[in-house]
Structure 1
């Protein structure tokens, strides 16, 4: 018998609507989350209204439309979690809106579990949704809906905190989207491995193609289409380059309509409400770690935080990687998958697979809430595989935060982790000095190319010849851009000069 305060996940739900569905509605963030919550309430095996009324705390993940200073084009609720709960008959004492970050779902499962174990409350729910498809569908239409909604009641809004992931300096130099940010990391990893552009693209495709097979069979996938390695590597009008080194099929699919929810309870509450024990899934291991700032990292092709998070969660769970039956590794781009696979000794062809959903480019990348789908699918699969373990790795920012959860139906007391201690160790790692405004010669350390801008532009992280310090630069120089798009500029000699708010580079 475990301590009655032990937290368990007792209900999970997912919902997806595709634009080519005959009954496509173009749903709002609130409506998408509501559909997922209703599924999660039903999944508990208990009367849905009874469970909804028992929920005391709701943690909500942000949509893209409320993840920055821009207004929501179709309107929004002033209190997203309470709008959802009002639709299902719940009135929680506390609702929370989490900051930006794809690690949020797993981080919140751990936060809720910690609070339940400490006796702060008995029943919690985590919700997330992303209406990117709706925003695109109505963008040029005259019959736009108005999703504006005002709900009274408490809301703990932790702020979007988007500015934690970039600075004015990095933004001015083109790091205003995830694809270009991760492009720098993947090209830095390619540099470390000494691979050619073509060989690395094939390696990325070989990593992701098996994920599409999973997506093709998942009823909740936004794009249930199996892709071959050649499909992914071949640049076409439909698979255009986004930011080097990524064609579209290596990029998270963010224009989706998806929702997910997970309900957690103490064992005592689950027994009191009559939730069947066959539904209970325990969190055996967990970790939440923060990486150094992007430009500070000694090796831009590595991620100590992700590596330590994976190790720590397995340690807390008391198992090894050989004991894991299912994995879901956050796959917005290849880099986050590569770094965890390297640490855990996993290959693209591991028979256990690297995703339970189908991965962000194929299943869908619903903003900050993707890993809530991964958790929901992991829970559902583990119920059919009693005693086995599932690993969920969730990533946020520019490999800025990494959270891991280890799940199983096997009963286990709540365990604490050493995340704070490990965070301090990561923060104390060596750093590379940055010179924001170098003048003169340097070399290209890593790079990306923005094909998504009106003028094709090279984005560079370089090293100054004078002192080895790091800097950023952009370029529209024809010769240098040609080398960056058609050749391999890693290690190339460049000349840098300041031009107001940016550094501009040319071939030396």
Structure 2
């Protein structure tokens, strides 16, 4: 068939990684890991001087520079994308540093597919990396490195993009980290499912046990050990509770040294560069949306914006769930996967599998860049199965941002997609009333117990008799209440709430 010359195609993907216990470990910096991945992507395209043809490099932020005032322990380049460019012999006209969030890699692919289709961009390289494991390893030995670089040059820094992700109501009561907020989502789902702690832990284990088998065969995975559902569900010393209901092996593994890159251009440019057509993979459809803040969601066990994005991407691509052959669903925590499966009717044990990498807890949660690895592996798998269709779902924030891509080697003209109408619908959804003045009993909607500090701390989300939502915490100087939460499941009970200092709402006990 005749394909429009401006149709965007992915022509190269690359990954780089190192484990601190592996032979040849070199303690590479994030820029070095990213450059190694970029070189691998150029080589993967199987053509000539592609580096010199790159006119845009868009980079993902490392975790250590993902917040205001952040200071990388070993320093960093002042222009990360151009630091990578210098290492691969590229001199792009435009360098970009993307906003924070795991949706970033897929969002960039969606963005530059449109830029290439419109003729605005010729060749785009998307790249990212993390060296969190190396930083912790060296710091633990009292060693340091100097990874600072004064590169200068043009840079479009898009900022952090964290506005509106989390409100003070949750953060002020102790739910301010991803693990504690996702724990609230997870226990809300457990409440919806009507399961006790033990049976739900096993359900999470059954979801993630197949992921460990995929990671076992992935040379870039940070953990290649295979675990059973029971292994993952059972709390032990090495598999300690982090925030109820998550044992350590159920959460994203941030100790990773990994880089990944994706190279994209048009059909016309791919031919000019001499890229063989068996390297080409097409983006059939996509979507990018932003969810309401957690307290503005009617049901904390769900993120309907995420599943709406998946449905919209499938609509653009003209496919159904049954037509998709390969999946990679973002898996920072079980709820991120359950959320998609529950709404779409996708079985957690679907024989097609739900990850191509092994997932964030086992392959590695390479900061904001995990899905760049998912896209890279997806491209390789689709090349090995000509005509198959693959879906990548990328999540950022607190189930806050979701970007989707549908891919295939089967040639198809690019169909531009606009997520603004869908976003307008999401923005118009009704939000629950928040009442932080209520005193007395309130039905527990969800909760978590954070075990990270010197003593466990509880956070409770409840509904007042009038139906308003209220956020509360256990008293910092009273371990009896959190002890009761540990001993007796708070779900299905009524929390007794009282005012505390600084506008806080405290849980003084439980009834029912």
The Cα offsets for residues 134-186 of structure 1, whole Å up to 9 and x where unpaired, read as: 22112233430011111021000011133432233322222221111100001
* Corresponding residue number in structure 2 for 1:68: 67
**Residue 277 of structure 1: how far off its partner (Å):** 0.3
Matches within 5 A, 1:218-297: 218-297=218-297
Structure 1 Cα separation of the partners of residues 297 and 164 of structure 2: 16
**Distance change (3 Å), C-alpha of 1:491 and 1:133:** same
CA contact (8 A) 1:327 1:354 kept: yes
Q: Which moved more, 1:432-441 or 1:72-81?
A: 432-441
Structure 2 Cα separation of the partners of residues 349 and 3 of structure 1: 39
Aligned residues: 505
**Residue 320 of structure 1: how far off its partner (Å):** 1.1
**Residue 486 of structure 1: how far off its partner (Å):** 3.1
CA contact (8 A) 1:330 1:394 kept: yes
2:36 matched to 1:35?
yes
2:111 matched to 1:111?
yes
* Corresponding residue number in structure 1 for 2:410: 410
Q: Which moved more, 1:139-148 or 1:289-298?
A: 139-148
Structure 1 Cα separation of the partners of residues 6 and 71 of structure 2: 41
* Corresponding residue number in structure 2 for 1:369: 369
Matches within 5 A, 1:29-428: 29-47=30-48, 50-69=49-68, 70-428=70-428
* Corresponding residue number in structure 1 for 2:479: 478
Q: If the length of structure 2 is used for normalisation, what is the TM-score?
A: 0.96
The Cα offsets for residues 278-315 of structure 1, whole Å up to 9 and x where unpaired, read as: 00000001011111111011111111111111111111
The Cα offsets for residues 36-84 of structure 1, whole Å up to 9 and x where unpaired, read as: 111101100013xx11110001111111000012211110111000001
* Corresponding residue number in structure 2 for 1:502: 504
Structure 1 Cα separation of the partners of residues 373 and 107 of structure 2: 14
Structure 2 Cα separation of the partners of residues 224 and 370 of structure 1: 17
2:496 matched to 1:463?
no
SS in 1 for 2:393: strand
Structure 2 Cα separation of the partners of residues 223 and 256 of structure 1: 9
SS in 2 for 1:406: strand
Structure 2 Cα separation of the partners of residues 479 and 141 of structure 1: 39
Q: CA RMSD in A?
A: 1.3
SS in 1 for 2:206: helix
Structure 1 Cα separation of the partners of residues 194 and 353 of structure 2: 26
Structure 2 Cα separation of the partners of residues 473 and 398 of structure 1: 19
Q: Which moved more, 1:317-326 or 1:342-351?
A: 342-351
Q: Which moved more, 1:23-32 or 1:230-239?
A: 23-32
* Corresponding residue number in structure 1 for 2:21: 20
SS in 2 for 1:484: helix
Structure 2 Cα separation of the partners of residues 10 and 337 of structure 1: 29
**Which stretches in structure 1 are left out of the alignment for 5+ residues?**
none
The Cα offsets for residues 311-366 of structure 1, whole Å up to 9 and x where unpaired, read as: 11111111111111110000000011001112332222211100000000000000
Structure 2 Cα separation of the partners of residues 371 and 278 of structure 1: 23
Structure 1 Cα separation of the partners of residues 37 and 108 of structure 2: 17
Structure 2 Cα separation of the partners of residues 235 and 500 of structure 1: 36
Q: Which moved more, 1:164-173 or 1:235-244?
A: 164-173
Structure 1 Cα separation of the partners of residues 504 and 146 of structure 2: 40
CA contact (8 A) 2:458 2:482 kept: yes
The Cα offsets for residues 416-464 of structure 1, whole Å up to 9 and x where unpaired, read as: 2241111111111111011234333323211111011122100111223
**Residue 276 of structure 1: how far off its partner (Å):** 0.3
**Residue 120 of structure 1: how far off its partner (Å):** 0.4
Structure 2 Cα separation of the partners of residues 120 and 359 of structure 1: 34
**Residue 501 of structure 1: how far off its partner (Å):** 4.8
Structure 1 Cα separation of the partners of residues 275 and 437 of structure 2: 61
Structure 2 Cα separation of the partners of residues 30 and 418 of structure 1: 33
Q: If the length of structure 1 is used for normalisation, what is the TM-score?
A: 0.97
Structure 1 Cα separation of the partners of residues 204 and 414 of structure 2: 37
**Which stretches in structure 2 are left out of the alignment for 5+ residues?**
none
The Cα offsets for residues 104-137 of structure 1, whole Å up to 9 and x where unpaired, read as: 1111100000111111011001101111102211
Structure 2 Cα separation of the partners of residues 143 and 364 of structure 1: 24
